[in-house]
Amino acid sequence: MRLNRQTRQVHVFRQDGSVLTVPWDSLFLTLGEEKSPLSGTTYDLRAHVLDADGETVRESFSLGYPSLLSNAGSIDKFWAFLQPYMEAEDGVERTWRHLKENTGYLMPVDGRKEGWRWSIVQNYAWTGHWPWLQFIGSPVLGLNAIGRMFAMWTSKVPKWPEEVERENLVEADDPYVLTWRDNGPIGWWELYWPLICTILGVGGFVGVIVWIVSGLWR
């Protein structure tokens, strides 16, 4: 997804790979809610594209969500971060400062696939405050990390149409450019401990499966 503050356009990929471009000011924003047996109830900032009657929803997409552990109240905080960029006079500077000072890492996925290290980091990020939980849940979290890597390896990098690229050119001397290359080094608890948990968890799972199968052959 791309938000263009100057043209006030939002560009977002649809599920079929096509691109939707819609004016920011025409979006109907609301609290999105989804339920699943694995993650329970999750919330996101949902954007609806309305028909001319102002009531019929033509398309919908998510503007994002803070984390898997977020509640309905946290969406207000997410909106408080997102809104100034598009609507406040000093929105660019405020957004840049927030990302610079309060965001741990920016994802290195611009024009490239997520690497295996970042699959590990992102997979365990929501449990980052509880290393003991990462260890206990390592069979499930580890298998999920492997699945995430496989999904990345078998996916293709999305490519914006040329007209979208032309409308979103970044000037070489833009003082507010901030990318994943500005990240600090990944720490022990962010990568190496989750990596150990993944190896132990997946190894333990495979060991149990081998033990069960070998018992069936006796």
What global pTM score does this model have? 0.84
pLDDT at 39: 67
Write the DSSP string, the chain. Answer: -EEETTTTEEEEE-TTS-EEEEEGGG-EEEEEEEEETTTEEEEEEEEEEE-TTSSSEEEEEEEE-S-TT--HHHHHHHHHHHHHHHH-TTHHHHHHHHHHHH-S---S-TTSPPPHHHHHHHHHGGGTT-HHHHHHTHHHHHHHHHHHHHHHHTS------HHHHHHT---TT-TT---GGG-----IIIIIHHHHHHHHHHHHHHHHHHHHHHHHT-
**Chain segment 27-66, per-residue pLDDT in tens:** 999 998 888 776 678 889 999 999 999 899 999 999 988 7
**Chain segment 108-136, per-residue pLDDT in tens:** 998 899 999 999 999 999 888 899 999 99
**Chain segment 146-196, per-residue pLDDT in tens:** 999 999 999 999 899 999 999 999 988 999 999 998 988 888 999 999 999
**Chain segment 61-101, per-residue pLDDT in tens:** 999 887 666 677 788 888 988 999 999 999 999 999 999 88
